[in-house]
Chains A and B, each alone.
Chain A
Amino acid sequence: SAVISQKPSRDICQRGTSLTIQCQVDSQVTMMFWYRQQPGQSLTLIATANQGSEATYESGFVIDKFPISRPNLTFSTLTVSNMSPEDSSIYLCSVRGDRAIMNTEAFFGQGTRLTVV
């Protein structure tokens, strides 16, 4: 399994500001994913971050609100822009292990708990 480190683990931010979340993996991985878990809800995929190309966003998520960087095969960032209280969530970085037993098996970072006030 891959070891995934996310920073920060939690933050409290003022509305209208932006926060960048970092995700570092201990091995090179092709695909990285960003999920959001709003209070009491399931994990929802925001976007797929591929190295060397633009991120692919899911329905309901746009690049202006959630810009993503993927400068290399071990690192990615997700920025939550112009935050509002509705953005208060846990944000999770996920990777597909290249030696995953099943093609869809994914590993997760510990998450970033964001509170917007």
Chain B
Amino acid sequence: DQQVKQNSPSLSVQEGRISILNCDYTNSMFDYFLWYKKYPAEGPTFLISISSIKDKNEDGRFTVFLNKSAKHLSLHIVPSQPGDSAVYFCAAGRETSGSRLTFGEGTQLTVNP
């Protein structure tokens, strides 16, 4: 039972344009959502998060949107840069479960110069 799904295994965009990465979840008990970025041979690094009480959180070029009714979240990167090329994982958790996170399969983002 895949509770967090990223349906696009890969995404390719041009430098300077917007990258939109999508994530769907099925467990309505999740109340925190996070995005992690992973470069080859490195562990995932925390990027941005959002609580279920919000529908948007912005940090520089990165914005996460949450649509609770649709059980959908997305990560927007504007403008995209070649250094953003990495695998992006969506993750979900419950505050009462500490840092036990459920991850999506990841989306490989490639930003072309």
Does B103 contact A101, Cβ atoms closer than 8 Å? no
| Size class of the A contact interface (CB-based, 8 Å) | 20 to 34
CA gap between A100 and B99 in the complex, in Å = 10
Segment with Cβ contacts to B, from A11-19, A42-50, A66-74 = A42-50
User: A60-92: contact bitstring with B at CB < 8 Å (1 yes, 0 no)?
Assistant: 000000000000000000000000000000001
Does B99 contact A33, Cβ atoms closer than 8 Å? yes
Chain A: minimal CB distance from B3 (Å): 10
* Residues in A neighbouring B101, C-beta threshold 8 A: 43, 45, 104, 106
* Residues in A neighbouring B51, C-beta threshold 8 A: 102
Given contacts A42-B89, A43-B103, A104 and B97 within 8 Å (CB-CB): yes
B100 within 8 A of A: yes
* Residues in A neighbouring B34, C-beta threshold 8 A: 102, 104-106
Compute the total of residue contacts between A and B using a CB distance below 8 Å: 79
A95 to B, closest residue via Cβ: B99
Given contacts A31-B98, A42-B106, A45-B101, A110 and B32 within 8 Å (CB-CB): no
Given contacts A33-B100, A48-B100, A42 and B43 within 8 Å (CB-CB): no
* Residues in B neighbouring A48, C-beta threshold 8 A: 98, 100
* Residues in A neighbouring B89, C-beta threshold 8 A: 42-43
Given contacts A104-B34, A104-B99, A110 and B43 within 8 Å (CB-CB): yes
Partner pick for A92 among B41, B43, B46, CB 8 A cutoff: B43
Partner pick for B42 among A33, A45, A104, A111, CB 8 A cutoff: A111
- Chain B, 80-113, CB within 8 A of any chain A CB: 89, 91, 93-95, 97-106
Does A106 contact B103, Cβ atoms closer than 8 Å? no
Q: Which residues of A contact B (CB under 8 A)?
A: 1, 4, 6, 9, 31, 33, 40-45, 48, 92, 94-96, 100-111, 113
